[in-house]
Amino acid sequence: GVGVGGNLSLAQNLNLNRWNGRPYSQRYFDILEKRKTLPVWQQKDEFLQALNANQSLILVGETGSGKTTQIPQFVLEAIKLDDKGKKMMVACTQPRRVAAMSVSHRVAEEMDVTIGEEVGYSIRFEDKSSARTILKYLTDGMLLREAMTDPLLEQYKVIILDEAHERTLATDVLFGLLKEVLRNRPDLKLVVMSATLEAEKFQAYFSGAPLMKVPGRLFPVEIFYTQDPERDYLEAAIRTVVQIHMCEPPGDILVFLTGEEEIEDACKKIAKEVTNMGDQVGPIKAVPLYSTLPPAMQQKIFEPAPPPVKEGGPLGRKIVVSTNIAETSLTIDGIVYVIDPGFAKQKVYNPRVRVESLLVSPISRASAHQRSGRAGRTQPGKCFRLYTEKSFKNDLQPQTYPEILRSNLANTVLTLKKLGIDDLVHFDFMDPPAPETLMRALEVLNYLGALDDEGNLTKMGEIMSEFPLDPQMSKMLVVSPGFNCSNEILSISAMLSGKILLLSSTSLIPKFVTVLGCIGCVLCPVRLSSAIALSGFHATVWCVPQNLLIPNCFVRPREAQKAADEAKAQFGHIDGDHLTLLNVYHAYKQNNEDPSWCYENFVNQRAMKNADNVRQQLLRIMSRYNLKLCSTDFSSREYYVNIRKAMLAGYFMQVAHLERTGHYLTVKDNQVVHLHPSNCLDHKPEWVIYNEYVLTSRNFIRTVTDVRGEWLVDIAPHYYDLENFPQCEAKRVLEKLYKKREKDREDKKNRK
């Protein structure tokens, strides 16, 4: 083959593909014609001149103008990637995994190369790139991780931060970091790309980098509001789809909903309703789009609408039901109607009680604008907002708060420390996080031993930062050899981390819970959800448990719930859900990963495969740091005890105590919580560790395991230090435990 830049002129002379030396396919030329019609092509020369003349550049353009797919290719054409014999790459970041995967596939097609070779992608736990790769799409989080081992990002010649308007946590950190890197690497170039209007803010932040605007090619979009607030946006959305399909001229529909379960549910209901209408209406294809959808399914959004059933019959329609992904990250051509219920799932964090959760909350006006814009890409369109015009004007915030103001920052702070940024207070954040949130993060890392009392990264912290996991889980992994159970802890971590979900709309979780009044005011430091309470949407908040993000290895089809529950029960471990997950993993391996075993036992094979893959990767990090792989003898009474102790060594800050009144209180924060109904315990343990805190009308703790009070004072005495403990029942119990320990020591001494 022809190396990068190698026999370039020869290849060009022969009209061969510059990147792999092969003749171009017909498809290449077909797509090229289409590409040339994209708005960014009008400004190709202008862009390349600006890139040549400046180190950083800001590019703003409507969604669909060709930024993500075309700009990196323009860069490749113009920039020499060989530097003193060293091959360098172009990076393009995406906040969303789905976008990184989908766009890289498309660009590989456009360049007529194989995905994973010249064009690749990299997302957490999946790297599809090779030594040949010259253009890599990667999540912003992955680029941040790369910076940890390659602080000057020397692999790259040009870095494109795409979807900058999304203001994800990782993108915001990259902003500050890259500003620093650019100073140290005059040869590096940065392009910041964004869809909406905050361009001036970016420009000010990047000290006057030139701003290039790509005029959109937007057709007018007519906006409709509802007269009265809708009681149930899901039902209203489905009703609107059906009405459009019956009454409106041809054109595809895009519906914005908040999460996988809702979306799958809506797709089924839409299909059913339209089928019931018989052949007076055209055929439809309802396609879901959300982040955990397998790549092959994602591709379906680009397929055309179905043809008429019989010649001359009513035309078919494609209906894409999507999360926020379709707002700006992915562009689907042919959309003429947009349905916008006005909600999205958003992260909120309350540092006071250290709870981060995803809440379904109203979107911002900027989001609403973006959503309606999706209807006018190829012809004039219509947008149906399922809320009142008054709500739009009075209740929606102008912009979405950046994620950094709504997140738990423990992981980010660890990353920054590892990157050598010690002075967090003076780090150049575009929007500095709340001091309380930073304090909380430092405190958590200090308790975990990742930072010393001066706030410096410890050896432990350094190793922990290598794992792409929450600090608690990393800590549990790092200390697990000391508890002689690193094999098992690896499996449990993998089972907890694989964020893959069921396709069927089943769940162990109770349906969305309606909460009256505003829980947001208490929980949300930036008052994001106080808007919910005031909102004319009606004073109701839908809280979505974090179930949409947790690995669910159990399948529970509606038609076989009893059998599924029985199957799950055979894996149940009376001491806790973590151990149940371990049992499932072991059974899967003992049955040689057999798909029919999975099917018969209501185990989701995809979740298991994913867990296995995650485990492999964590294992690699473990061996790099010589963390020994070991297990306690299975027949030993200590087998499960050791595992539970190792988990506690990571999660000692996520403990709840059973009060005499019969409910649980989280330790130190004293929040009332309930064991999630999905737990498999056969008793109510006095102390439990939990994996997550699920916010609904009742607060649940989910994935829980029984631990012993004695272990708390043995394993985490610095956290269970009574001088630093609010008055409560748990404190009195701990006092007794300390006294008992003291007495045992005395007795021992006296016996000697």
C-alpha to C-alpha distances, 575 to 479, 591, 592, 616, nearest whole angstrom:
21, 24, 26, 27
Of 68 and 391, which CB lies nearer to Mg ion in the complex structure?
68
Tell me the window of 64-72, 496-504, 574-582, 657-665 that interacts with ligand ADP (CB under 6 A). Answer: 64-72
We find the least distance from the C-beta atom of residue 123 to ligand ADP, in angstroms, to be 16
Of 94 and 388, which CB lies nearer to ligand ADP in the complex structure?
94
| Residue 46 binding: pick among ligand ADP, Mg ion, none (C-beta 5-8 Å cut-off by kind) | none
Q: Within 54-157, where are the H helices? A: 67-78, 97-111, 140-149
Helix (H) or strand (E) holding 566: helix 561-569
Asked if 67 touches ligand ADP (CB under 6 A), the answer is yes
For 594, the 3-state DSSP assignment is coil
Of 69 and 546, which CB lies nearer to Mg ion in the complex structure?
69
| Residue of 57, 60, 66, 326 interacting with ligand ADP (CB under 6 A) | 66
Handedness of CA 48, 54, 57, 59 (dihedral sign): negative
We find the least distance from the C-beta atom of residue 495 to Mg ion, in angstroms, to be 34
Asked if 556 touches ligand ADP (CB under 6 A), the answer is no
Tell me the window of 61-69, 72-80, 397-405, 638-646 that interacts with ligand ADP (CB under 6 A). Answer: 61-69
| Residue of 17, 20, 43, 63 interacting with ligand ADP (CB under 6 A) | 63
Tell me the window of 63-71, 244-252, 358-366, 724-732 that interacts with ligand ADP (CB under 6 A). Answer: 63-71
| Residue of 43, 56, 94, 102 interacting with ligand ADP (CB under 6 A) | 102
Q: Which residue has 């002129």 as its token pair? A: 9
How many residues bind to ligand ADP according to rule CB under 6 A? 15
Cα–Cα distance measured from residue 63 to residue 196, given in angstroms and rounded to the nearest whole number:
9
Of 35 and 663, which CB lies nearer to ligand ADP in the complex structure?
35
In this structure, the number of other CB atoms found within 10 A of the CB of residue 622 comes to: 23
| Residue 106 binding: pick among ligand ADP, Mg ion, none (C-beta 5-8 Å cut-off by kind) | ligand ADP
Of 70 and 654, which CB lies nearer to ligand ADP in the complex structure?
70
We find the least distance from the C-beta atom of residue 551 to Mg ion, in angstroms, to be 29
We find the least distance from the C-beta atom of residue 77 to ligand ADP, in angstroms, to be 16
Of 91 and 713, which CB lies nearer to ligand ADP in the complex structure?
91
Paired with 665 in beta bridges are 657, 672
Phi, psi dihedral angles at 5 (to 5 degrees):
70, -15
Of 404, 406, 324, 392, nearest to 364 by C-alpha is 392
Asked if 68 touches ligand ADP (CB under 6 A), the answer is yes
Of 38 and 147, which CB lies nearer to ligand ADP in the complex structure?
38
We find the least distance from the C-beta atom of residue 374 to ligand ADP, in angstroms, to be 10
Site for ligand ADP in 323-342 (CB under 6 A): 331, 333
Asked if 468 touches ligand ADP (CB under 6 A), the answer is no
Cα–Cα distance measured from residue 603 to residue 589, given in angstroms and rounded to the nearest whole number:
12
Q: Are 98 and 292 in contact (CB under 8 A)?
A: no
Distance linking the first and last C-alpha atoms of the chain: 78
Paired with 243 in beta bridges are none
Asked if 132 touches ligand ADP (CB under 6 A), the answer is no
Of 671, 534, 555, 655, nearest to 605 by C-alpha is 555
Of 303 and 721, which CB lies nearer to ligand ADP in the complex structure?
303
| Residue of 43, 69, 346, 486 interacting with ligand ADP (CB under 6 A) | 69
For 30, the 3-state DSSP assignment is helix
| Residue 38 binding: pick among Mg ion, ligand ADP, none (C-beta 5-8 Å cut-off by kind) | ligand ADP
Of 200 and 333, which CB lies nearer to ligand ADP in the complex structure?
333
Asked if 302 touches ligand ADP (CB under 6 A), the answer is yes
Q: Are 266 and 255 in contact (CB under 8 A)?
A: yes
We find the least distance from the C-beta atom of residue 222 to Mg ion, in angstroms, to be 25
Of 82 and 333, which CB lies nearer to Mg ion in the complex structure?
333
Asked if 61 touches ligand ADP (CB under 6 A), the answer is yes
Tell me the window of 68-76, 418-426, 472-480, 662-670 that interacts with ligand ADP (CB under 6 A). Answer: 68-76
Cα–Cα distance measured from residue 480 to residue 467, given in angstroms and rounded to the nearest whole number:
14
Asked if 64 touches ligand ADP (CB under 6 A), the answer is yes
What are 200's two structure tokens? 């001036």
Asked if 106 touches ligand ADP (CB under 6 A), the answer is yes
| Residue 302 binding: pick among Mg ion, ligand ADP, none (C-beta 5-8 Å cut-off by kind) | ligand ADP
Of 341 and 373, which CB lies nearer to ligand ADP in the complex structure?
373
Cα–Cα distance measured from residue 263 to residue 261, given in angstroms and rounded to the nearest whole number:
5
DSSP output for 306-373: PPPSSTTSPPPEEEEEE-THHHHTS--TTEEEEEE-SEEEEEEEETTTTEEEEEEEE--HHHHHHHHH
Of 92 and 177, which CB lies nearer to ligand ADP in the complex structure?
92
We find the least distance from the C-beta atom of residue 238 to ligand ADP, in angstroms, to be 27
C-alpha to C-alpha distances, 554 to 181, 591, 600, nearest whole angstrom:
45, 16, 12
Of 96 and 615, which CB lies nearer to Mg ion in the complex structure?
96
Of 137 and 467, which CB lies nearer to Mg ion in the complex structure?
137
Cα maximum dimension of the chain: 99
| Residue 412 binding: pick among ligand ADP, Mg ion, none (C-beta 5-8 Å cut-off by kind) | none
Asked if 645 touches ligand ADP (CB under 6 A), the answer is no
We find the least distance from the C-beta atom of residue 197 to ligand ADP, in angstroms, to be 15
Of 194 and 357, which CB lies nearer to ligand ADP in the complex structure?
194
Q: Which residues contact 484 (CB under 8 A, 6 or more apart)?
A: 630, 631, 632, 638, 642
Cα–Cα distance measured from residue 549 to residue 695, given in angstroms and rounded to the nearest whole number:
13
**Number of residue whose CB is nearest Mg ion:** 68
Residues within the interface to Mg ion (CB under 5 A): 67-68
Cα–Cα distance measured from residue 643 to residue 243, given in angstroms and rounded to the nearest whole number:
56
Cα–Cα distance measured from residue 126 to residue 121, given in angstroms and rounded to the nearest whole number:
8
Of 642, 516, 670, 523, nearest to 578 by C-alpha is 642
Tell me the window of 16-24, 62-70, 597-605, 667-675 that interacts with ligand ADP (CB under 6 A). Answer: 62-70
| Residue 499 binding: pick among ligand ADP, Mg ion, none (C-beta 5-8 Å cut-off by kind) | none
We find the least distance from the C-beta atom of residue 91 to ligand ADP, in angstroms, to be 16
Amino acid (one-letter) located at 251: G
Of 20 and 70, which CB lies nearer to ligand ADP in the complex structure?
70
Give exposure, 389-412, as e/b (b: 16+ Cβ within 10 Å): eebbeebbeebbbbbbbbbbbbbb
List the beta strands (DSSP E) in 84-241. 86-87, 89-94, 119-123, 126-128, 135-139, 156-161, 189-194, 211-214, 221-225
Q: In what order do the strands lie in the sheet with 355-362?
A: 343-350, 355-362, 540-543, 513-516
| Residue 639 binding: pick among Mg ion, ligand ADP, none (C-beta 5-8 Å cut-off by kind) | none
| Residue 64 binding: pick among ligand ADP, Mg ion, none (C-beta 5-8 Å cut-off by kind) | ligand ADP
Site residues for ligand ADP per CB under 6 A? 38, 61, 63-70, 102, 106, 302, 331, 333
